[in-house]
């Protein structure tokens, strides 16, 4: 049962082949068996999951509910979950029990989806390897010496190891696509504003976007169908109708024009990763698509611009964790300043502190124009590059990550090398566009992900393009040995 897709499980539940309670019990057993090795979950909500499963079974028996009623998934531990610890991977929130559900969680609850637990992540979603988590690193099920990517590494590892058929993630600079690529699963970061950020703990508000991770594009479509939509509680939520993502999955792609940006295939791209990406593009040609070389001239500026904008926003967002209102408080503070400084000093890890300091510096009087304003100007140029590209092509393709999964500990002491993990994903966040990662093979025994970037609100097209590839290939059906 555990290696079935959400679509298959949904059909099984509808046909009465098994109950949600049976399915949930089977997955909880797997989590129990494998989480000690993988560390994919911070919290497992077994009792709540079984109660939700029984309620879902009753709903189905009464002829109610929808396609995902009774389907279990996991939530990245950045989404607030009522009555359940919501840690964001930080000591700062180790004692935080959320008093409400994020909109995304609320929507899944209403659809009868069962929550198995909360997945591990880089602290406050800052990282590309899930090694900055207060709860320790996650291991990649394809190779236990390797990182799963980050920051949604727990979600990616849980899905890849078949501990959950799907999971939520968030992507500020690549945190859905890069771990999806490194773990050989399918992930979608929607257009900025497509999915509500309400109750999703903020890292960099102008970049953060929630999305879905699963084993196939078809499953991601099912999850996005529930997550997407306008939310009056999120002022940046887009008032755009939500299309039927499943309806266009099988659309013909013979009229598709794919753009290959030369900046995504240059120096820094691992040769074996490049080969797998080229094979995938060749498959698209076989499916009838046209391929065109394009350029995104400002793409090389994405990382430096991001590492001004994201820390600037994080320094402001994380100011709320002061030891007063919620979160960690140091023992026996001497006075107010001591309370602030020791609570923050002890509650945050070093990567988070590095970014708060960079952000506070970049925003300070005298430096604001030189750094923050400049970065925002570059952001505009990057968006313009994409706008121009989409007048010529329908989608843009390239690697999701320049390398396959690296080893635990390999980059953790070298932040700049770590930052380069997102060299192909970050521009998409700066522009607010949707992007996917789809498994297209292996290099050095570790998975490779193809990135597919679309125009604003083109999620249906991306899912269609990914699905057609998955109809013609079986990379997405592979399960790591031992799981």
- What residues are annotated to the active site? 76, 151, 175
Pick one of 69, 172, 196, 403: the residue that binds ligand GLN (CB under 6 A): 172
> Could you give the string, one character per residue 253-292, with x where binding to ligand GLN holds by CB under 6 A and - elsewhere?
----------------------------------------
How far, in Å, CA of 116 to CA of 103, rounded? 18
Q: Which stretch in 5-13, 98-106, 119-127, 138-146 sits in contact with ligand GLN by CB under 6 A?
A: 119-127
Look at residue 19 and give its three-state secondary structure.
coil
In whole angstroms, the minimum distance from the beta carbon of 27 to ligand GLN comes to 26
> Could you give the string, one character per residue 398-437, with x where binding to ligand GLN holds by CB under 6 A and - elsewhere?
------------------------x---------------
Biggest distance spanned by C-alpha atoms of the chain = 70
Tokens read off for 215: 């084993």
Q: Which stretch in 124-132, 216-224, 230-238, 244-252 sits in contact with ligand GLN by CB under 6 A?
A: 124-132
How far, in Å, CA of 382 to CA of 134, rounded? 34
How far, in Å, CA of 232 to CA of 252, rounded? 36
In whole angstroms, how large is the CA radius of gyration of the chain?
Answer: 21
Q: Nearer to ligand GLN by C-beta: 395 or 428?
A: 428
Pick one of 113, 116, 126, 146: the residue that binds ligand GLN (CB under 6 A): 126
**Dihedral sign (CA 339, 341, 342, 345):** positive
- Asked if residues 296 and 431 have their Cβ atoms less than 8 Å apart, the reply is no
Position 125 contacts ligand GLN (CB under 6 A): yes
In whole angstroms, the minimum distance from the beta carbon of 421 to ligand GLN comes to 6
Look at residue 273 and give its three-state secondary structure.
helix
- Strand stretches in 304-417, DSSP E: 395-399
Q: Which stretch in 57-65, 95-103, 126-134, 246-254 sits in contact with ligand GLN by CB under 6 A?
A: 126-134
Q: Which stretch in 121-129, 285-293, 382-390, 450-458 sits in contact with ligand GLN by CB under 6 A?
A: 121-129
In whole angstroms, the minimum distance from the beta carbon of 248 to ligand GLN comes to 27
- Asked if residues 297 and 264 have their Cβ atoms less than 8 Å apart, the reply is no
Q: Nearer to ligand GLN by C-beta: 203 or 475?
A: 203
Supply the DSSP string of 56-104, one letter for each residue. HHHHHHTT-S-TTTT-EEEEETTB-BTTBB--TT-GGGTTPBPSS--HH
Position 200 contacts ligand GLN (CB under 6 A): no
Tokens read off for 402: 């320049």
Pick one of 67, 72, 117, 127: the residue that binds ligand GLN (CB under 6 A): 127
How far, in Å, CA of 455 to CA of 465, rounded? 13
Position 175 contacts ligand GLN (CB under 6 A): yes
Q: Which of residues 303-362 bind ligand GLN (CB under 6 A)?
A: 310
Position 302 contacts ligand GLN (CB under 6 A): no
- Asked if residues 423 and 155 have their Cβ atoms less than 8 Å apart, the reply is no
Applying CB under 6 A, the residues found at the interface with ligand GLN are 125-128, 151, 171-175, 203, 310, 422
């Amino acid at each position: 049962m555990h290696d079935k897709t959400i679509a298959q499980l949904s059909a099984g539940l509808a046909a009465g082949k098994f109950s949600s309670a049976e399915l949930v019990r089977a997955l909880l057993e797997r989590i129990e068996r494998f989480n000690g090795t993988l560390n994919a979950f911070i919290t497992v909500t077994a009792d709540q999951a079984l109660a939700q499963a029984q309620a879902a079974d009753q709903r189905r028996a009464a002829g109610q509910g929808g396609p995902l009623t009774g389907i279990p998934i996991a939530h990245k531990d950045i989404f607030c979950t009522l009555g359940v610890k919501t840690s964001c991977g930080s000591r700062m929130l180790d004692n935080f029990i959320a008093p409400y559900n994020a909109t995304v969680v609320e929507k899944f609850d209403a659809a009868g989806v069962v929550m198995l637990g909360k997945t591990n992540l880089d602290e406050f979603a800052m990282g590309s390897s899930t090694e900055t988590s207060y709860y320790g690193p996650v291991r990649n099920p394809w190779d236990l010496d390797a990182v799963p990517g980050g920051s949604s590494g727990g979600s990616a590892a849980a899905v890849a190891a078949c501990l959950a058929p799907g999971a939520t993630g968030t992507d500020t600079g690549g945190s859905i696509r890069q771990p999806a690529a490194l773990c050989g699963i399918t992930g979608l970061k929607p257009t900025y504003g497509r999915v509500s950020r309400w109750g999703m703990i903020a890292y960099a508000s102008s970049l953060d976007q929630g999305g879905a991770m699963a084993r196939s594009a078809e499953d991601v479509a099912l999850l996005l169908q529930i997550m997407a939509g306008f939310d009056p509680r999120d002022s940046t939520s887009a008032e755009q109708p939500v299309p039927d993502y499943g309806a266009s999955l099988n659309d013909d792609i013979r009229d598709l024009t794919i753009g290959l940006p030369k900046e995504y295939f240059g120096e820094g791209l691992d040769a074996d990763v490049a080969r797998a990406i080229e094979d995938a593009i060749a498959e698209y040609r076989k499916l009838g698509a046209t391929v065109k070389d394009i350029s995104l001239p400002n793409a090389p500026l994405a990382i430096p611009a991001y590492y001004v904008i994201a820390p600037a926003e994080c320094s402001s967002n994380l100011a709320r964790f002061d030891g007063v209102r919620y979160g960690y408080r140091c023992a026996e503070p001497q006075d107010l300043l001591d309370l602030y400084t020791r609570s923050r000093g002890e509650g945050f890890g070093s990567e988070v502190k590095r970014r708060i300091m960079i952000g506070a510096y970049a925003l300070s009087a005298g430096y604001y124009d030189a750094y923050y304003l400049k970065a925002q100007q570059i952001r505009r140029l990057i968006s313009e590059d994409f706008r121009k590209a989409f007048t010529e092509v329908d989608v843009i393709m390239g690697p999701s990550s320049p390398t396959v999964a690296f080893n635990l500990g390999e980059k953790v002491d070298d932040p700049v090398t770590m930052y380069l993990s997102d060299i192909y994903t970050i521009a998409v966040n700066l522009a607010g566009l949707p992007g996917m990662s789809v498994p297209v093979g292996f290099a050095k025994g570790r998975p490779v992900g193809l990135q597919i970037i679309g125009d604003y609100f083109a999620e249906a097209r991306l899912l269609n393009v990914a699905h057609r590839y998955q109809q013609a290939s079986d990379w997405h059906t592979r399960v790591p040995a031992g799981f």
